[in-house]
Amino acid sequence: MKLYDYLPSGNSYKVRLLLSYLGRAYIHVPIDIHKAETHTSEFLAKNPAGQIPMLELDDGRILAESNAIILYLGEGSPLISADKFDRAKMYQWMFFEQYKHEPAIAVARYIRHYAMDNRADELPKLMERGKAVLAIMERYLSERDWFAGDARSLADVALYAYTHVAHEGGFDMAPYPNIQTWLERFSDHPNHILITDQPSSG
Amino acid sequence: MKLYDYLPSGNSYKVRLLLSYLGRAYIHVPIDIHKAETHTSEFLAKNPAGQIPMLELDDGRILAESNAIILYLGEGSPLISADKFDRAKMYQWMFFEQYKHEPAIAVARYIRHYAMDNRADELPKLMERGKAVLAIMERYLSERDWFAGDARSLADVALYAYTHVAHEGGFDMAPYPNIQTWLERFSDHPNHILITDQPSSG
């Protein structure tokens, strides 16, 4: 299978991280979103939403949306609980991640990282929303080690991706000790990789 | 179980619609989001994100995020395909719905419905994004009857909720004949209910 991705993207990192956990080989196809490589007619024919990450299966079928891709790849692994309610909580936090977390924290990081002065006026609202998101996570983690059930799940994979680089978005993480402990707990895994690790192809 | 919801909310409607399909009884707890009833300390203790819909199981456990709730309730029903790839496409479109569709189309509807003049400046960008979302759906439906696989799934439930009221957000649906046909196909079901139907409690 081929993973079309952009290295600094937390959404892409979720997929690379999971593939590392699972020990799965894949062909890495780097895409430069700043050269509009997600908007070529060839790319759009595969994913009309024009987004990475995108997974192309060996038979040519295409999957998009980072959290859908990790749900697909994670099936049958311990990262999806056998317990129905724990699984539902995993879904809950994955939708929370895409609806509330990513649009605030990842976007703030993106604007700062590329010093997009033309979007700087978005930052105050993004910071406010991002802090509210972090406060919700901090409170939830005061009573739990993981987001869904008693073990690491895809919800942790999804939330780790942009939380561990939230400081790059300008977020001071000092007020969130439970989140910091959870980030350390999460990265303590034999197959952990960094967002900056260059994937080996194939 | 108890469903905390707000009748005009498309996110809540997804859950009511699915419960009707499944013929499941529930206690309906109406919440007025305009009276800050999602931000009382009692509500926030149940759902720190302060959002409806919220499902309270008979044992008191709580589920939030509309798409997570319908994934939980829909387990074992024909609305979740037994095919792994079809299921992944269902997830893909459900994340698309929460990431791209709802933040444009539902928010435009919300601003217009409540005539929020203080947010009117958001409308041009929301309309542009909403039209891009509808164009992606229109193109996808040119070759398919349903969003995931060959049958109605939770992806259709999720996307129907705000698409069928997109005109209330100011979207002209004439350019999207495939979407219109799909909306008719979807609503042609013996247990279909309208977003305005008052749920009977219990």
Mean pLDDT of A153-173: 98
Give the pLDDT score at A176.
98
Is the pTM higher than 0.80?
yes
A69 contact residues in B (CB cutoff 8 A)? 88
- Tell me: do B67 and B103 sit in the same domain: no
Residue A70's domain spans which residues?
2-74
Name the band, by pLDDT with cuts 50, 70 and 90, for residue A202: very low
- What one-character-per-residue DSSP string does chain A give? -EEEE-TT-HHHHHHHHHHHHHT---EEEE--GGGTTTSSHHHHHH-TT--S-EEE-TTS-EEESHHHHHHHHHTTSTTS-SSHHHHHHHHHHHHHIIIIIIIIIIHHHHHHHTT-GGGGGGHHHHHHHHHHHHHHHHHHHTS-SSSSTTS--HHHHHHHHHHTTGGGGT---TT-HHHHHHHHHHH-STT---TTPPPPP-
A87 contact residues in B (CB cutoff 8 A)? 72
In-domain check, residue B194: no
- Tell me: do B97 and B170 sit in the same domain: yes
- Tell me: do A100 and A35 sit in the same domain: no
Q: What is the pLDDT of residues B26-80, one digit of tens each?
A: 999 999 988 899 999 999 999 989 999 999 999 999 999 999 999 999 999 999 9
In-domain check, residue A202: no
CB-closest option in B85, B99, B136 to A99: B99
CB-closest option in B63, B88, B100 to A68: B88
Q: The domain that contains B60 carries what CATH number? A: 3.40.30.10
CB-closest option in A61, A65, A96 to B65: A96
| Domain boundary residue, one of A74, A97, A128 | A74
The count of domains in chain A is 2
- Tell me: do B57 and B100 sit in the same domain: no
In-domain check, residue B193: no
In-domain check, residue A105: yes
- Residue B202 pLDDT > 50, yes or no? no
Name the band, by pLDDT with cuts 50, 70 and 90, for residue A67: very high
In-domain check, residue A168: yes
- Tell me: do A59 and A115 sit in the same domain: no
Q: Do B67 and A139 touch (CB under 8 A)?
A: no
- Residue A64 pLDDT > 50, yes or no? yes
Give the pLDDT score at B201.
58
| Shortest CA distance from B102: residue in chain A | A99
B96 contact residues in A (CB cutoff 8 A)? 49, 64-65
- Tell me: do B100 and B176 sit in the same domain: yes
Mean pLDDT of A2-14: 95
- Tell me: do A136 and A156 sit in the same domain: yes
Q: The domain that contains A105 carries what CATH number? A: 1.20.1050.10
Q: Do A63 and B103 touch (CB under 8 A)?
A: no
Residue A106 amino acid letter: A
Q: Do B88 and A63 touch (CB under 8 A)?
A: yes
- Residue B169 pLDDT > 90, yes or no? yes
Give the pLDDT score at B103.
97
CB pairs under 8 A between A and B: 88
